[in-house]
Structure 1
Amino acid sequence: MTDVASKHDHEGTAEHAALASDAEQRVEWAPAEPTRKKRRLGLWIGIPVGVVALGAAAASLFLIAPGTTIGGVPVGFLTPGAAAAAVQDRLDQTTITLGDGGESVSGAELGAQVDSTALASTAFDSRPAWNVTQWFGEPISAPVTLEADVATAALRGAAGDLYVEPTAAGVAFDGSSYVVSPDVPGAGIDPEAARAGLQSAFDAGQTATVIDPELTPVASLTTTAAADETAATLNAMLENVGFYVGDERTVPVDRAVAASWLTVGTADDGSFDVTADAALIQPLVDTLPGLVDRAPVNGVVFANAAGTIIDDSDAGLDGRTLQSTDGIAAGFADQLATGDAVYRLPVDVVPVTTDTITRMLEVDLGEQRLYLKENGAVVDSWLVSTGRPGADTQTGYYTIGWKTPLQDMRGTAADSGVSYIQPDVKWAMYFNGDQAFHGVYWHSNWGNRMSAGCVGMPDSRAAQIYEWAVAGTDVWVHA
């Protein structure tokens, strides 16, 4: 039993060993199955959506709410800058047509504008995209304005035969003065009608509209009022035009000659423009030395014994010499263009020599003689007739006062008390109350006391001293 068993065991052991050896060569361990990963599809989908949502939220901080319009222009989901550009672009492209089949002009050609930057800023401030309560709000009003000059020019070009050119006011010289021709209004398309039509189309979101070509007066740029003012200035110039030395108009200029120097035109703004031609002024300038230059004229002034000047009417005249004529024509032309017609000449003055003379009428009652003295020297003398005894010519120092070439003398004689009237007495010069020098035609008894107090002499001699002795001349009466 043991042997059998041993054999069995031995054989089994050998077989087992053989199998074991063979298995070690043929059998490999399989790797363990990896753990299956969890599916995260929702996460992969959610990430892009989240990014978009975050971007939209961020963008809403810089965009205008959807459904917002400025005028008739949608600006939702635009930045303020883009909105401003869109509004102005739409206005530029909007056109109005002048009547059925008429010419069309665009907003850009009319100089149409809205304050798009301010409107867009207001839209964003009041209606940001993030504020859903402001979505699809009422349209924001956008007042349209036109550049007046641009619109007028564009409508004028589009109006064709409907446009009537205004007549400008004019200023012209008629031979003696400047006269005005008044302006006459024209006719053209009313810029306000164009603006209103453009506004209506713009607000409605339309890019084109037709308006009735309503005419309105078109004023001239050069108005009657401006012409009146210019003519008044020119006529005032003609009143005092000339070449002056000081305040003296030494060389007057004829009105027609001065007008021939001037050209009256108009500037681009319609105002009048006055110019003067220096070349036309030059021929007269060339003659100025002969008209201005002069030698001094010596004169005389009269003084009384106290040295006070009592008459300077013959004081003489300074001489003068024109320094140069260079630049005068051009300078005067410039002045005339500004409305100044007084040209002051540059001259050198040659001083006058003036003598001072003191004159006196001396009456010697004892000699019954009148002496004419200049600076103390006797220059003439003749017999006179002074007051009778009782009606004496009074002695003393006097001056000539009132003078009259002819009068009826009335008075009462001091010696007799008899009133008298002496008609047509010539060349009276009063020096002491009612005592005077005068002519006598009713007697010729010179050298004798014949008067009621006056100093009488022949009419010819009375006329001589009337011219010789000015008012204020000294009188000395002595015995």
Structure 2
Amino acid sequence: MTDGAPGTDGATYAWAPTEPTRRKNRSGLWIGIPAGATAVALIAASLVLIAPGASVAGVQIGGLTAGAAAQAIDSRLAQTTVTVDSPAGEVTVTGAELGATVDAAALADKAFADNPMWKPASWFPEGTGVEVQVDAAEAAAALRELAPGTYRAPVDATIAYDAGSQAYVTTPSEDGEGIDVAAVTAALQTAFDSGTASTTVQAALVPVEAPVTTDEASAAVANLNGILDSIGFYVGDERTVAVDRATAASWLTVTPDGKGEFAISADQSAIQQAVSGLAGQVDRGAVNADVIVDTGGEVIKAITEGQTGRALGDTSGVAVAFAAQLAEGNGRYALPVTETPFDTTKTERRIDVNLSTQTTTLWQNGEVYRTYTISSGAGDHATHTGNFRIGWKTAMQDMGCVPGYDYCTKDVPWVAYFNGDEGFHGTYWHNNFGTPMSHGCINMTIPQAKELYDWAYRGTEVSVHY
């Protein structure tokens, strides 16, 4: 300080300047801050970077983030070039032009997950291989554009309706020709795996399959002809109104997608014309059944087959619905109908042969229909008793007349067998009815035999007894 102060002796003294406060030395701190920040930054970086020495195929991705690594992988693949030595000369094509791809993001993420920089033990790992995916169509198009002289276009298989055979037919496909895409793809894969930016390959010309093959067209033709085979309007399982094949084909339009699929569409307005006339072909009255039955009620002959009546329901949506079915390959349209059941009249018939009275009686519905006086088998040829059914019938037959028989009777009429070689038949060689006379058959007058022949259907029960 420069100020003075009086002393005790009256003299004035000058004080020495005050020593300034010593400041703390912080140079070490300022030097340490950048070093610490760098260390922190390095530690932080190691948490997001891939370990040194890591690679995918031939691409070095060590020290990169997963995002940067993915970009590096994609870029290397896109820029890798293949020089193709073809019959038309050399052409050079890049991975990008060939449509080559890999899942670079997934590969980079896996590389970081397996080999992060913060984990020194994972540094300098073995390289990861990867399969390059090449779009064959895109690659073929690129090669075709670069070397058009090497390419001959394939011809697709086609489908058409043939009026002569009334069926859909196939025109087969024809293979084309082009540079072997598989050889070019393999060369690209090798170059990418080794980290080489370019390579050369000799590629021959190979067949190029048509996008629409004969097999694909044939399968579509089989489907279409299946529609024509069954197309119609159905009531239950009955194709009540059939649609002829030419008409059905005129309803259908077949559109190929160029990749082997054939779409089917149907003309709703044309279908509606057929729908408009359905009622006259579908509606009918019920027809009652008339049947002959045995004593157990089983039908042995239908004189008139029963038929349900039916009336067509609402058809306002039929054309639209049928068109949709046809597009799916289904030509069987189930019609909406209301059915009326039929009644059945049953007539029970059986035959009774009484050997004691030498009579044959026809019974119908529990009442006598006819009774005839007959001649049954005599002596050792007595007609067998038992319960039988009418089997084989013939309007005329020679009886005996073959080795093993001791008689021969020509032109025996109205024969209805019921037990082996025993049956009813007409008789012209005697008129002694009421007395056993035959070799086992039931002899009757010719008119009576004809009446029984017509009345007794196959399956009619026959009871023979004393």
Q: TM-score range by the shorter chain?
A: 0.7 to 0.9
Aligned position for 2:111: 122
Distance 1:387 1:78, change over 3 A: closer
The alpha-carbon deviation at position 189 of structure 1 amounts to: 4.1
Q: Please say if residues 427 and 463 of structure 1, whose CA atoms lie closer than 8 Å, have aligned partners that are also in contact.
A: yes
The alpha-carbon deviation at position 438 of structure 1 amounts to: 0.9
Distance 1:95 1:158, change over 3 A: farther
Structure 2, gaps ≥5 residues long: 1-9
Matched position secondary structure for 1:334: helix
Matched position secondary structure for 2:275: helix
Alignment of structure 1 residues 410-449 onto 2, 5 Å: 410=400, 419-431=406-418, 435-443=422-430, 445=431, 449=435
* 283-292 or 190-199: bigger deviation: 190-199
Distance 1:446 1:272, change over 3 A: farther
Aligned position for 1:112: 101
Q: Please say if residues 182 and 223 of structure 1, whose CA atoms lie closer than 8 Å, have aligned partners that are also in contact.
A: yes
Aligned position for 2:173: 183
The alpha-carbon deviation at position 420 of structure 1 amounts to: 2.0
Q: 1:350 aligns with which of 310, 332, 340?
A: 340
State whether structure 2 residue 157 is matched by structure 1 residue 172.
Answer: no
State whether structure 2 residue 287 is matched by structure 1 residue 320.
Answer: no
State whether structure 2 residue 75 is matched by structure 1 residue 85.
Answer: no
* 387-396 or 426-435: bigger deviation: 387-396
State whether structure 2 residue 222 is matched by structure 1 residue 232.
Answer: yes
Aligned position for 2:323: 333
Q: 1:254 aligns with which of 223, 244, 261?
A: 244
| Structure 2: distance between partners of 1:234 and 1:295 | 35
Query: Which residue identity lines up with residue 264 of structure 1 in the other structure?
Result: V
State whether structure 2 residue 56 is matched by structure 1 residue 54.
Answer: no
| Structure 2: distance between partners of 1:200 and 1:472 | 85
State whether structure 2 residue 263 is matched by structure 1 residue 273.
Answer: yes
Query: Which residue identity lines up with residue 322 of structure 1 in the other structure?
Result: L
Higher helix share: 1
Structure 1, gaps ≥5 residues long: 1-23, 412-417
Distance 1:48 1:437, change over 3 A: closer
Distance 1:291 1:393, change over 3 A: farther
The alpha-carbon deviation at position 400 of structure 1 amounts to: 4.3
| Structure 1: distance between partners of 2:342 and 2:119 | 99
| Structure 2: distance between partners of 1:475 and 1:217 | 79
| Structure 2: distance between partners of 1:121 and 1:304 | 86
Distance 1:116 1:202, change over 3 A: farther
Q: Please say if residues 384 and 446 of structure 1, whose CA atoms lie closer than 8 Å, have aligned partners that are also in contact.
A: no
Query: Which residue identity lines up with residue 89 of structure 1 in the other structure?
Result: S
- What is the count of residue pairs matched by the alignment? 445
| Structure 1: distance between partners of 2:360 and 2:26 | 152
Q: 2:456 aligns with which of 449, 464, 469?
A: 469
| Structure 1: distance between partners of 2:141 and 2:256 | 23
Query: Which residue identity lines up with residue 266 of structure 1 in the other structure?
Result: P
Alignment of structure 1 residues 19-418 onto 2, 5 Å: 29=14, 31-32=16-17, 43=28, 46-47=31-32, 50-51=35-36, 54-55=39-40, 57-58=42-43, 61-62=46-47, 63-64=49-50, 70-96=56-82, 102=91, 104-107=93-96, 110-119=99-108, 121-122=110-111, 126=115, 128=117, 131=120, 134=123, 140-148=127-135, 151-152=138-139, 155=142, 158-159=145-146, 161=148, 162-175=150-163, 176=165, 177-199=167-189, 202=192, 214-267=204-257, 269-305=259-295, 307-312=297-302, 314-361=304-351, 374-376=364-366, 385-387=374-376, 400-405=389-394, 406-410=396-400
| Structure 2: distance between partners of 1:183 and 1:28 | 125
Distance 1:105 1:368, change over 3 A: same
Matched position secondary structure for 2:46: coil
Q: Which has the larger radius of gyration?
A: 1
Distance 1:302 1:86, change over 3 A: same
- TM-score with structure 1 length normalisation? 0.73
Q: Please say if residues 320 and 350 of structure 1, whose CA atoms lie closer than 8 Å, have aligned partners that are also in contact.
A: yes
Query: Which residue identity lines up with residue 260 of structure 2 in the other structure?
Result: G
| Structure 1: distance between partners of 2:461 and 2:128 | 98
Matched position secondary structure for 1:335: helix
Q: Please say if residues 73 and 104 of structure 2, whose CA atoms lie closer than 8 Å, have aligned partners that are also in contact.
A: no
